Amino acid sequence: MSKDIVEDITSLKKERNALLLVHNYQDSKIQELGDFIGDSFELARKAKFTDNSIIVFAGAEFMAETAAILNPQKKVLIPSSMAKCPMAHMLSPTKMKRYRTLYPNTTIAVYVNTTAETKAMADICITSGNAVKIIKNLDEKQVLVGPDRNLAYYIQQQIPEIKIIPFPKIGYCYVHRKFIPSDIKKLIVRYPEAEILAHPEVSPSVQKIANKICSTSRMLKEAANSSSEKFIIATENGLVDRLRSNFPTKMFIPARKDAICIQQKQITIYNLYLSLLKEQYRIYIPPNIAKKARLPIERMLELSE
Ligand code: 13P
Ligand code: SF4
């Protein structure tokens, strides 16, 4: 990485009074420049309580949208307009309407990996880091959870007393779908002492062989607190880079070498520099949508405390 561009990014951040929020899957060079690195829940909370006038979001578009919904008076920028999470587009407002009609009295919890329009029609938002706690706190007999069916399965295993209804019919992350038990079993033979950490977006068959299922930031905490020296990691490989840089004496084995989120990787040092220089691309959420979408996000922040 050229020293000049790093210096330019650092001075532009100061000049613009900009906060750089970085998701755990971003390239390590971008992580090094971030003011805060975290999972989608931590980043939403950070965005809500910042004093900076500009937020630059190095992550998926839905994360930047969440920051903009929480901060209508601030400029929220995303360096690439291509960083759209495909799963976020698997639950359209039309599908939301259909399920509302099918289950008129059931609470609808949507994953934060959704568009602003979909959030505007939901009762509450959840992330991988807080879903179980929030759904438990709702004190309902049944809850609709979408769009990630694997996350819904994970929640159901943790809270058997509440009926979790996954919706819509198709909802998954193409990166986490790559993990399969046979690959992980081969790694277990090679590294029998390794602890297996998996994200709740992996399939039920992989969840069953994992030692811990957790959000990206929870994996960092687990690596810090566990006595294990070796870990098999079933999530996007940006997190593996972060684990290796935070814990250089421990060993982290990616459960698949091709677990790369192409959309999140659209953010580069160069377009990050351009984003700060030209203040592009601003996230715009129509005020009527933002007003409605703020409620389920605020409710999530309250119930997570
Ligand atoms: P986390 O909230 O665990 O960081 O996950 C976000 C995500 O997009 C996982 O694919
Ligand atoms: Fe979306 Fe999957 Fe990328 Fe996460 S890893 S942002 S769920 S496509």
Kindly report, residue by residue over 220-276, the tens digit of the pLDDT.
Answer: 999 999 999 999 999 999 999 999 999 999 999 999 999 999 999 999 999 999 999
What atom in ligand 1 is closest to the CA of residue 127?
2
Q: Are 118 and 110 in contact (CB under 8 A)?
A: yes
Let me know if the fold of 87-173+292-303 is the same as that of 176-254: yes
Q: Which residues share a beta bridge with 142? A: 163
CB 38 within 8 A of CB 23: yes
- In this predicted model, what pLDDT tens digit does every residue of 92-129 receive, in sequence order? 999 999 999 999 999 999 999 999 999 999 999 999 99
Are the beta carbons of 30 and 269 closer than 8 angstroms? yes
> Which residues form the pocket of ligand 1, taking CB atoms under 6 Å from any ligand atom?
24, 39-41, 60, 113, 127-129, 173, 199, 201, 215-216
Dihedral sign computed on CA atoms, order 209, 215, 220, 226: negative
The residue ranges of every structural domain in the chain are 3-82+264-284, 87-173+292-303, 176-254
Angstrom distance (rounded) from CA 50 to CA 240: 28
Residue 1: predicted pLDDT: 61
- Closest ligand to C-alpha of residue 88 is 2
Ligand nearest to the CA of residue 90, numbered in listed order: 2
pTM above 0.85, yes or no: yes
Alpha carbon distance, N-terminus to C-terminus of the chain: 39
Q: Cα(149)–Cα(108) distance, rounded to whole angstroms?
A: 14
Q: What is the whole-number distance in angstroms between the Cα of residue 103 and the centre of ligand 1?
A: 28
Ligand nearest to the Cα of 39, by number: 1
Minimum CA distance residue for ligand 1 atom 3: 215
Point out the ligand 1 atom lying closest to the alpha carbon of residue 23.
4
Identify the residue whose C-alpha is closest to ligand 1 atom 7: 40
176-254 belongs to CATH 3.40.50.1110: no
CA distance 200 to 235: 9
Which CATH homologous superfamily contains domain 87-173+292-303? NadA-like (3.40.50.10800)
- The pLDDT of residue 131 is 98
Task: Tell how far the Cα of 78 is from the centroid of ligand 1, in angstroms.
Answer: 17
Percentage of residues of the chain with pLDDT beyond 90: 98
CA angle centred on 259, ends 254 and 265, rounded to 5°: 120
Cβ atoms of 281 and 79 within 8 Å: the answer is yes
Residue nearest to atom 8 of ligand 1 (CA): 113
* Contact yes or no for 271/98 (Cβ under 8 A): no
Q: Check residue 36 and give left, alpha or beta (phi > 0: left; psi -120 to 50: alpha).
A: beta
pLDDT of residue 156 exceeding 90: yes
- How many angstroms separate the CA atoms of 244 and 128, rounded? 22
What pLDDT, in 10s, does the model give residues 62-84? 999 999 999 999 999 999 999 99
CATH for 3-82+264-284? 3.40.50.10800
pLDDT in tens, 4-48: 999 999 999 999 999 999 999 999 999 999 999 999 999 999 999
Segment (H or E) for 107: strand 107-111
Concatenate the DSSP letters of all residues of 184-245 into one string: HHHHHHH-TTPEEEE-TTS-HHHHHH-SEE--HHHHHHHHHH-S-SEEEEES-HHHHHHHHH
Of 126, 264, 265, the one to substitute when testing ligand 2's pocket (max ligand atoms within 8 A of C-beta) is: 264
Q: What is the DSSP letter of 294?
A: H
169 vs 155: CA distance, rounded Å: 17
Indicate if the pLDDT at residue 2 is higher than 80.
Answer: no
75 or 2, which is more confident = 75
Q: How far is the CA of 11 from the centre of ligand 2 (A)?
A: 31
DSSP conformation letters of 136-174: HHH--SEEEEES-HHHHHHHHHH-TTSEEEE-SS----T
Query: What is the overall mean pLDDT for the chain?
Result: 97
Q: How many residues does the chain have?
A: 305
